[in-house]
Structure 1
Amino acid sequence: HAHFEDQIHVVNETLKDLGARDKPTIMVFNKIDAYVNPEHTNEDGEQMVLTLDDFKKSWMGINNAPALFISALHKENLEEFKQLLYDKVLALHTARYPYDKLLY
């Protein structure tokens, strides 16, 4: 939605207030099936249409956290989401319980 950056800021501030800002995060953008190419002004002041691929590249280029773009409605990129979650949980589990082979 148009104010997603404000929402991200509020969530990050809430995590900070809870003392959880330093925890690993995954940025998940849902409803990519409803994405409308907005017009964007580039550095030269020219109007451009920002495609979903352009948005993905720009977002992933400015953030350190993994970012996924999914459509729960159309089940698009859900397997990638599941795999990323599994990989993150596995890494945490292995670090905390190196002798427990529960997840692998």
Structure 2
Amino acid sequence: MSKVIRAIAFATVTATTLLAATGCSVARDQQSVGSYVDDTAITAAVKAKMAEDKSVSATAISVETLKGVVQLSGFAKSEAEKARAGEIARTTKNVSEVRNSIVVKP
């Protein structure tokens, strides 16, 4: 019986926390929880696509997303790799803009 009460109490606390958090801002950017989760999903999707693409070094390129805008930074071996990374980001679902700051390293 006490396991059931603990489970109900845990579920209640979890639900209350989630409901309270959705109305609050995340960090100093005043970004909503939903927007933060969306941006995290976009970043993960871009990174996954880059990891699958043999022409892009996913470990040398950093991906950050804020309100649907993807910022690419890091180093590429060629202009073609830089362009391909930008193309991958642009074709990812829910990306509104791509800022490609990748530096081509000779």
TM-score (norm 2): 0.28
Which of the pair is proportionally richer in strand?
Answer: 2
TM-score (norm 1): 0.29
Q: Which of 1 and 2 has greater Rg?
A: 2
Which of the pair is proportionally richer in helix?
Answer: 2
